[in-house]
C-alpha cells in the first residue's frame, strides 16, 4: 500500500484497530447516506480497484443488470472506462494519496447500441487505514447528464427563437425544431407538427422529418374531431391527448394499420393554440414502443407547442403584413392614378376638355377603347373618344348613340342611372366587329341624382373587366362628373383636401407681442392622404399667448378629426383653466371620450403659454410624449427641455409636469415633430437629434425665428439628398424680441 508522507509507521495495535473500526463506521454511514440519494457512491479497494460497495444510483448509472454486483475489479465490471482515462485517474489517486475532482466529465457507458453518453461531477478521494496508508479509493459523484441535456436543449430552443425572430421560413423552423427534440431526447422519439387550416377543421402536414413519407401523406388533411387519432382529437378537444398504446386505443381505430406499417406504438399530441385560443395545429411525439409520458415529457411538449405557436403566429403576422403592403401598394397606385387624373380633370373649368381628359386617362389603363357621351338639348353627343390608333378612334367617334332607343346601351344607362357590365358587345348598332369588341362597361355620369352622360369602356380580345377595374372606373367617372358639372365646387374640395393634408394648420400666423413666430410644415403624403402633424398659436384673455405643436398617430380623415379635436379643445378650455397641465389633461379627457368611429390613436403634444415681459418671454409648458423641445441660446448653445409626460389618449392620467423657463431677447424655443429627426438619407440612416443640435449650434445665423427654420430645413434637405420623406415634418419657433 502507499504510505502517506509524514506519518510514522510504528503504531500500536489498539490504535490501528480503533482507526480501522472508525473507518468502517464512516464507510457504513456513507453507504447509508448515498444509498438513499440520487448521488453516485462506490468504495474501491486495492490497486485493482475492487468494488467493495456501491449505492443503487451507481449501478443504475453504469447500466444495471449484470453489472449490479460487487467483489469485481472496476475495470472488469466497466471495461469501457479504461480507454477513457478514468482507471488511470484511480491509479493516480491510489498511488499519490491525493484526491482528484472532476467537473462535467463526459463518459460513455455501455457498448454498441446500448451505449449512452453521460456527464458527472465527481471526486476520487483516497481511503486510508489507521496507519495513514492508502487502502483504496472512494468515488462520490453526481450525474449531470440531465443538466447538460437541459442546457443543450435551452441553447437549441434559443436558436429556434432567434430563427423565428429573423423570420426564417416556417418549414425550416419546424423541421429544425423537430430534429432538435429527436436528437436530444434520451429515448427515441419521432416528432410531428400539423398545421390547422384557416377554418380550424383540418390539419395539414407541417414537419415530420423522421416519419415515413407515406405516413405524412396519409394524415395530411385529416379532420379534427373526437376519435380522429391523437392529433385530430387533441385539436378538437383543445387539450393534450396521450395514447400510450396505439394497438389498443379506440382513437386509432381508423389509423391502426397505418401506424403499424410505420412502426408507431405510442403518440402524445398537444394542441398548438394562438393567444386568442384559436387552433393553430398540433405538436406530437411518437414512440416505437408503448410508453407513457413522464412529467418532463409533458413539459417538453408544452414548451415546444408554445414555440410552434410563436412561429406560426409570426408567419401569419408576416403574411398579413405582406398582404397589407400589397394592398397598400395597389391602393397607392390607384390613388396615384386617381390623383393624377383628378389634377388633370380640374386643371380648368371647361367641361368638354375635362371629359376629353377623362377618355384619355381611361386608355389603356382601364380599357383599350373609350367613349364619353353627354346629353345636350335632348340629344346624345359623343364628345370624347380614345383608342390605340387614329383609325380606331375615328371609327368610334363616328358612332352616335340614340337617346331614346330601347335597345341602345347608352340610352338605357342614361335612363336608369345604373352601370352595365357584360362580356359581349353592347346592344344596338355600332362598329363592334370592326373594332374587335368582346365586352363593355357603361357607367353613368351623375349630377344630383340624374345622369347627364356616360363613360363607355370597351374591351378587346382577352381583356376582361374585373371588380377592381369596375370600381376604379366608377370612381374616375364620379370625379369626372363632379369636375365637369361642378368645377368650382370640386376645386374648393381639392383645396379643402390640401388644407387637411397640411394638418388643419393656421392660414396665417398671428402677431405675438414680444415674440417672433415662424412655422414650417412639409407633408409626406399627397392629395387626400391627410397627415397628423399640427401646430397652433392663439391669444388668451390676460395678455398671455398659448402655443402647441403635436403629432397624431395615423393618417387620413381620422387623423384630421383627431387634430381638429385637439386644437379646438385646447382653444376652448385654455382661457378657462389655470395652467398648461390642466389644458393638456382636458385634451386627454376629450381624446379618451371620443367615439371609436372618430379614431383611437394616441397623440403626442407640447402645449405651453408665454407671457411677454420687459426682458423677454416667460414660458411654461408641458410635454406629453413628444420630442424634446430645444432652447437656442444667444451664445450659440442648444439645450433640451426635458419635461416628463405620457402620450395622450391612452390613460386617464398622462402625468405631465409643468416646466418653466425664460427666453431673453434673441433666445428661441424650438418645437418639432419626429418627421425631422427621423428623416433618412439614401442609406436609410436617420437625421437624428445630434445632427439637429449640431445644425442649430452657433448663433450668428439665427437672429430671427425664420432664420432658425431656414437653417434647420437646409440641414435636413442636405442630409436626405432630395429623397422622399416618410413622415410629416412640422416646426414651430418662438424667438424673444
pLDDT digits (tens, 9 = 90+) for 333-367: 888 888 888 888 877 778 888 888 888 888 888 89
Strands, DSSP E only, in 435-488? 437-447, 450-460
pLDDT band at 464 (very low <50, low <70, confident <90, very high): confident
Q: Are 131 and 11 in contact (CB under 8 A)?
A: yes
pLDDT at 723 over 90: no
| pLDDT tens digits along 269-316 | 999 999 888 999 999 999 999 988 877 778 778 888 888 888 888 888
Do 348-496 and 505-736 show the same overall fold?
A: no
Q: Tell me which range, 2-11, 14-23, 210-219, is most confidently predicted by mean pLDDT.
A: 210-219
pLDDT band at 17 (very low <50, low <70, confident <90, very high): very low
Q: Which CATH architecture has domain 505-736?
A: 4-Layer Sandwich (3.60)
pLDDT band at 119 (very low <50, low <70, confident <90, very high): confident
pLDDT at 3: 33
Q: Burial level of 383, CB count in 10 A (0-12/13-18/19+)?
A: buried
Mean of pLDDT values over 569-577: 94
Q: How many CB atoms lie within 10 A of CB 271?
A: 23
- What is the rounded CA–CA span in Å between residue 643 and residue 660? 9
pLDDT at 501 over 80: no
Q: Domain limits of the chain?
A: 38-143, 150-318, 348-496, 505-736
- What is the rounded CA–CA span in Å between residue 547 and residue 107? 75
Task: Report cis status (omega within 30 of 0) of the bond before 364.
Answer: yes
Q: How far is CA 459 from CA 3, 420, 428, 588, 724, in A?
A: 108, 14, 17, 55, 37
Helix (H, G, I), strand (E, B) or coil at 419: coil
Element (H, E) at 190: strand 190-196
pLDDT band at 656 (very low <50, low <70, confident <90, very high): very high
Q: How many CB atoms lie within 10 A of CB 540?
A: 15
Contacts for 112 with CB less than 8 Å, ≥ 6 apart: none
| pLDDT tens digits along 142-184 | 887 777 766 777 777 787 778 787 888 888 888 888 888 888 7
With the C-alpha atoms ordered 587, 593, 598, 603, is the resulting torsion angle positive or negative? positive
| pLDDT tens digits along 697-711 | 876 556 789 999 999
CB-side exposure of 295: number of CA atoms within 13 Å? 0
**CATH class, 150-318 region:** alpha beta
pLDDT at 505: 66
CATH of span 348-496: 3.30.450.40
- What is the rounded CA–CA span in Å between residue 101 and residue 145? 17
pLDDT at 37 over 50: no
pLDDT at 381 over 50: yes
Q: Are 367 and 380 in contact (CB under 8 A)?
A: no
Q: Burial level of 293, CB count in 10 A (0-12/13-18/19+)?
A: middle
Q: Which residue has the higher pLDDT, 149 or 87?
A: 87
Match domain 38-143 to its CATH number in 3.30.1360.120, 3.30.450.20, 3.20.20.10, 3.40.50.300.
Answer: 3.30.450.20
- What is the rounded CA–CA span in Å between residue 716 and residue 730? 12
List residues bridging with 648 in a β-sheet: 603
pLDDT band at 16 (very low <50, low <70, confident <90, very high): very low
* Pairing mode of beta strands 630-632, 638-640: antiparallel
Helices (H) and strands (E) in the chain, counts: 21, 27
List residues bridging with 107 in a β-sheet: 118
Amino acid at each position: 500500500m502507499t504510505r502517506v508522507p509524514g506519518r510514522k509507521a510504528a503504531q500500536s495495535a489498539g490504535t490501528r484497530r480503533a482507526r480501522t473500526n472508525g473507518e468502517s463506521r464512516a464507510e457504513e454511514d456513507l453507504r447509508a447516506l448515498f444509498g438513499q440519494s440520487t448521488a453516485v457512491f462506490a468504495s474501491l479497494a486495492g490497486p485493482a480497484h475492487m468494488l467493495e460497495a456501491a449505492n443503487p444510483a451507481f449501478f443504475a448509472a453504469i447500466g444495471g443488470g449484470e453489472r449490479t454486483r460487487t467483489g469485481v475489479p472496476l475495470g472488469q465490471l466497466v471495461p469501457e472506462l479504461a480507454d477513457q482515462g478514468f482507471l488511470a485517474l484511480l491509479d493516480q489517486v491510489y498511488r499519490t494519496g491525493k484526491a482528484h475532482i472532476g467537473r462535467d466529465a463526459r463518459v460513455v457507458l455501455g457498448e454498441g447500441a446500448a451505449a449512452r453518453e453521460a456527464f458527472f461531477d465527481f471526486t476520487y478521494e483516497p481511503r486510508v487505514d489507521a496507519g495513514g496508508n492508502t487502502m483504496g479509493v472512494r468515488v462520490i459523484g453526481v450525474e449531470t447528464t440531465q443538466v447538460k441535456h437541459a442546457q443543450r436543449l435551452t441553447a437549441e430552443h434559443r436558436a429556434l427563437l432567434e430563427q423565428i425572430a429573423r423570420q426564417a421560413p416556417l418549414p425550416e423552423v419546424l423541421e429544425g425544431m423537430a430534429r432538435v427534440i429527436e436528437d436530444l431526447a434520451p429515448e427515441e422519439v419521432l416528432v410531428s407538427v400539423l398545421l390547422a387550416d384557416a377554418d380550424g377543421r383540418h390539419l395539414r402536414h407541417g414537419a415530420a422529418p423522421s416519419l415515413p413519407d407515406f405516413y405524412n401523406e396519409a394524415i395530411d388533411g385529416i379532420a379534427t374531431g373526437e376519435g380522429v387519432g391523437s392529433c385530430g382529437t387533441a385539436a378538437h378537444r383543445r387539450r393534450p391527448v396521450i395514447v400510450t398504446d396505439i394497438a389498443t386505443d379506440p382513437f386509432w381505430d381508423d389509423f391502426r394499420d397505418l401506424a403499424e406499417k410505420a412502426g408507431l406504438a405510442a403518440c402524445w399530441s398537444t394542441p398548438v393554440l394562438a393567444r386568442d385560443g384559436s387552433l393553430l395545429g398540433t405538436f406530437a411525439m411518437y414512440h416505437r414502443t408503448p410508453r407513457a409520458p413522464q412529467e418532463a415529457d409533458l413539459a417538453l411538449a408544452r414548451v415546444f407547442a408554445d414555440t410552434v405557436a410563436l412561429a406560426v403566429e409570426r408567419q401569419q403576422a408576416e403574411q398579413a403584413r405582406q398582404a397589407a403592403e400589397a394592398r397598400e401598394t395597389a391602393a397607392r397606385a390607384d390613388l396615384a392614378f386617381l390623383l393624377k387624373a383628378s389634377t388633370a380633370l380640374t386643371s380648368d373649368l371647361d367641361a368638354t376638355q375635362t371629359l376629353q381628359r377623362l377618355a384619355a386617362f381611361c386608355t389603356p389603363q382601364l380599357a383599350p377603347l373609350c367613349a364619353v357621351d353627354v346629353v345636350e338639348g335632348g340629344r346624345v353627343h359623343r364628345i370624347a373618344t380614345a383608342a390605340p390608333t387614329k383609325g380606331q378612334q375615328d371609327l368610334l367617334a363616328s358612332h352616335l348613340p340614340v337617346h331614346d332607343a330601347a335597345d341602345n346601351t347608352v340610352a338605357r344607362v342614361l335612363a336608369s342611372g345604373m352601370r352595365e357590365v357584360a362580356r359581349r358587345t353592347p346592344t344596338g348598332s355600332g362598329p363592334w366587329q370592326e373594332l374587335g369588341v368582346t365586352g363593355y362597361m357603361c357607367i353613368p355620369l351623375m349630377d344630383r341624382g340624374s345622369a347627364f352622360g356616360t363613360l363607355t369602356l370597351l374591351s378587346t380580345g382577352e381583356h376582361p373587366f374585373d371588380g377592381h377595374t369596375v370600381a376604379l372606373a366608377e370612381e374616375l367617372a364620379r370625379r369626372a362628373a363632379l369636375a365637369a358639372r361642378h368645377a368650382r365646387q370640386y376645386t374648393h374640395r381639392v383645396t379643402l383636401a390640401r388644407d387637411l393634408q397640411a394638418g388643419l394648420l393656421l392660414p396665417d400666423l398671428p402677431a405675438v407681442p414680444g415674440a417672433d413666430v415662424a412655422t414650417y410644415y412639409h407633408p409626406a403624403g399627397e392629395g387626400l392622404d391627410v397627415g397628423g402633424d399640427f401646430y397652433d398659436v392663439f391669444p388668451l384673455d390676460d395678455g398671455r399667448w398659448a402655443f402647441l405643436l403635436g403629432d397624431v398617430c395615423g393618417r387620413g380623415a381620422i387623423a384630421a378629426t383627431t387634430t381638429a379635436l385637439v386644437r379646438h379643445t385646447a382653444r376652448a378650455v385654455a382661457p378657462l383653466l389655470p395652467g398648461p397641465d390642466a389644458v393638456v389633461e382636458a385634451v386627454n379627457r376629450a381624446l379618451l371620450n371620443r367615439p371609436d368611429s372618430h379614431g383611437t390613436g394616441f397623440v403626442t403634444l407640447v402645449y405651453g403659454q408665454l407671457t411677454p415681459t420687459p426682458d423677454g418671454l416667460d414660458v411654461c409648458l408641458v410635454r406629453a410624449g413628444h420630442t424634446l423641445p430645444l432652447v437656442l441660446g444667444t451664445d450659440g448653445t442648444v439645450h433640451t427641455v426635458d419635461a416628463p409626460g405620457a402620450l395622450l389618449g391612452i390613460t386617464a392620467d398622462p402625468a405631465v409636469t409643468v416646466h418653466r423657463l425664460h427666453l431673453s431677447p434673441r433666445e428661441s424655443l424650438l418645437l418639432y415633430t419626429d418627421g425631422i429627426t427621423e428623416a433618412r438619407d439614401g442609406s436609410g440612416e436617420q437625421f437624428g437629434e445630434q445632427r439637429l443640435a449640431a445644425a442649430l449650434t452657433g448663433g450668428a445665423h439665427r437672429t430671427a425665428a425664420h432664420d432658425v427654420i431656414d437653417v434647420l430645413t437646409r440641414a435636413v434637405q442636405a442630409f436626405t439628398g432630395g429623397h422622399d420623406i416618410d413622415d410629416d415634418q412640422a416646426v414651430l419657433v418662438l424667438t424673444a424680441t
